[in-house]
Amino acid sequence: MGGRGGRSGAKSVGKSGGAKAGAQQKDRENAQAGSRSGVDPVRLVARDVLRAVRERDAYANLVLPTLLRERGISGRDAALATELTYGACRSLGLLDAVIEAGSGRSVQEIDGGLLDVLRLGVYQLLRTRIGAHAAVDTSVAMARNEFGQGRSGFVNAVLRRAGEKTAEQWVEELAPSDPVGRLAFEFAHPVWIAQAFADALGVRATELGDLLAADDARPLVHLVARPGEISAEELALVTGGEEGKWSPYAVYLDGGDPGKLEPVRDGLASVQDEGSQLVALSLTRAPLEGPDGGRWLDLCAGPGGKAALLGALAAIDQFQVDAVEPSEHRAELVRKSTRDLPVEVHVVDGRDSGLTPGYDRVLVDAPCTGLGALRRRPEARWRRTPTDVRELVVLQRELLAAAWELVRPGGVVLYSTCSPHLAETVSVVGDFVRRTGAVQLDTRELLPGVTDIGDGPGAQLWPHRHSTDAMFMAALRKPM
């Protein structure tokens, strides 16, 4: 899944072990050949990630760090490779439209390897400050090295046509005429996703351009300071970052590899979007009827970020967290994230967990389309389809129903998604409240100091308003 998908049938990074190994060997051979012929290794890395995404449904944010490490690329070169890779993945719709206009043929008719080179070249021409000469020449050299002189001439011709206009001029020429379609094209989003965002914005749909622009920009790295171990102020001083605006545990970093930071290596901090931090915090702040007995449950725990924050908060009061994750691989990630915390991981399906009811607080951070985190998963927007929404809503409703059976009377279930799509958010919650008589709390009251999160009772964060992922939250209390 492009967003939170490992929980419910994501596309695999490789089609099979043998195919993946063969593709990786091919990547290494291409890289070695490119190096011998003088092709820029930074652009080779970007091209090879684009190829892995296209051929193997790989995730760019998993493939790129491995290739950078294997090929010894660091510093400014690594930063450029990252910009080219993620930028091209994000901009696919715009790039392909320009390539079709410049070549006079559909991208489906272009050899996949050439298409990777063209996408990389057009991205440099239209969305970076790299000179046109360098963008064209390095792309042509890359094509010549792998495909020969004849097809490198095709690349040269298409890129020179693409470079005859600016990005803005191409938008004017190729974008649909309707307002949503035009903005979707300009900011490289599928139209159906842009429309879903506009629907979720409601009366403030005029903000759609700002939202899509923020969703298309490189996000800051967000760290979470582990409660009881280090404060956000201390973490900011140690890392050179800036304290977060909304979460008392958040720190912002401009970039770099957070895995190399000492607090992260020592388990005092980890990477976590500030919006995700607020989800976990909202669960702990929700008012219960009766005392908090210290039994908390994360029903959809993988890969473990929220479970770790809940575990650290639970440890302060000597509470206990159960964490449910059906995939053994992702369950192991939860174990690593929650090491030395009062968290017990259960490798079971949350819809039929077999756990003993009576939890005071239950988090249902449901598997979803991940439309709220597209800026952190560059290729995801082009993989999702409206059909995914329909399939996931069924799972979301089943998990929420299971959580309701596990929470005690007077306890709270916090339902959240990393998606603002109305079908995955207010529709799921509204239908559940009508069927169960759940008491919907005003979630905005659980987010003190966080402004502009909607009219209630649910809360919606936005990249353009809060610089977080577009997290949705709704707090439901079970009547006594």
Phi, psi torsion values for 478, nearest 5 degrees: -85, 125
Catalytic residues: 418
The pairs formed by 206-211 with CB atoms below 8 angstroms and a separation of 24 or more are 207/464, 208/180, 208/183, 209/183, 210/464, 211/462, 211/463, 211/464
Distance CA 19, CA 52 (A): 11
The Cβ-side half-sphere exposure at 157, using a 13 Å CA radius, reads 11
Secondary structure element (H or E) that encloses residue 356, with its range:
none
Distance CA 424, CA 417 (A): 7
Distance CA 85, CA 164 (A): 23
Q: Which amino acid is at 247?
A: S
Q: Is 172 helix (H, G, I), strand (E, B) or coil?
A: helix
Which residues lie closer than 8 Å to 453 by C-beta, 6 or more apart?
Answer: 444, 447, 459, 460, 461, 466
Residue 266 DSSP symbol: T
Secondary structure element (H or E) that encloses residue 344, with its range:
strand 343-346
